[in-house]
Amino acid sequence: MANYRLTGTLRGTVRAEAWIVDGVIAYRPPQGRVINIRGFIYPGLLDAHTHPGLNRDGNLLPHQEVRRRLEALRSWGVTAVRDSGGQQNPGDDRSDGLPRIIHCGQHISRPRRYTRHLAVEVEPEDLVAQALNEYEKSDGWIKIVGDWIDREAGDNLPVWPRQALVEAVAAVHERGGKVTVHSFCTETIDDLLEARVDGIEHGTGMSAEHLQEAAHRGILITPTVHQIRRFPEFAHAGARFPKYVQRMLGMDARRREHLELMIESGVAMLMGTDTAENVTEVAMPHELIDAVEDGFSPKLAMANASYDGRRRLGFPTWEEGMPADFVVYGNDPEVGIRQTLTPASVFIDGIRFPGKN
């Protein structure tokens, strides 16, 4: 295995140089030949909301399709993934040189309250048992659908009674696990805070007070900017439900203002794309570009997608002896965020791969 010396601008550390020796991070030069790598170097990107193990027809994916998605993620500079809901654990198909994975089990929702085939559907009295079942299949996190369109009401509304959420989250916490919850609408958030969830996906309905409380508790928010830009598309698809259309278009109109509230609150954020089979075309660089266009500073976006986000989910960054997972850019993405579209090199387990494009 080749050894490398990393120099240039190393983000997320005060060190001026580091080495990759036998696939791990080192701070002393090895004996023998060393390949010099210079550039703007970050701990590999984390996509904290993607779905490499999700199949829209409900069946398990072929192993080669899971691998294709993981290789596509890697080409964009992503070296770690939180798989936020899928029928299978993509970690079962991981080998050296592919992104590390936190699997969240399968989405949990109620009947007819999520996209067909994607969720395990249970009634509130069975939520605790199903949450524990998904936890046993997971890598420590599970994913619950907190709100979705209620066709009888014609609007996006909470899926669960508050007490069901409280009991399910407490049961997972008792096992040492964590819970993140999909939420678009405001009405769900008080229930999530009462249940003491660990993460909120999208979070478009959170008020300034909700965000401040989440910041105080250390709840991780994944804003999925690229995905929430699709709200007009979702409204069009639900055109027969006027209340739903009004809600989705209203949130879209307030999108930039709301993201500014998130930033001002100081809430801990992760970056996530909400991608699945489309990961070759849409990936973390697009999420970062959209986030910066909608008000994030490039530095904040990159920190959340790299060293800060990784630390929040327990992935290594620059610790000596840990697997060497890095992304290298020829030009500074904090000067021009579109540089993330063309990583020069990606390292996973100290193995060097070419970046996308």
Distance (Å, rounded) from C-alpha 137 to C-alpha 354? 33
**Cα angle: 219, vertex 288, 116; to 5 degrees:** 65
pLDDT at 220: 98
| 0.85 exceeded by pTM | yes
pLDDT tens column, 243-280: 999 999 999 999 999 999 999 999 999 999 999 999 99
Q: How many domains does the chain have?
A: 1
323: which DSSP letter? B
Residue 30 lies in a domain: no
- Which amino acid makes up residue 105? G
Residue 173 lies in a domain: yes
β-partners of residue 107 are: 119
Cβ–Cβ under 8 Å, residues 128 and 171: yes
pLDDT at 357: 73
Count the residues in the chain: 357
**CATH number, domain containing residue 241:** 3.20.20.140
3-state secondary structure (DSSP) of residue 200:
strand
Instruction: Say if strands 24-26 and 119-121 run parallel, antiparallel, or are unpaired.
Output: unpaired
**Residue whose structure tokens are 């001002």:** 264
Residue 224 lies in a domain: yes
pLDDT at 334: 98
Residue 37 lies in a domain: no
**Residue whose structure tokens are 């805070």:** 193
pLDDT at 235: 97
Residue 160 lies in a domain: yes
For the chain, which residues score pLDDT lower than 50?
none
- Boundaries of domain holding 183: 45-315
Residue 8 lies in a domain: no
pLDDT at 103: 98
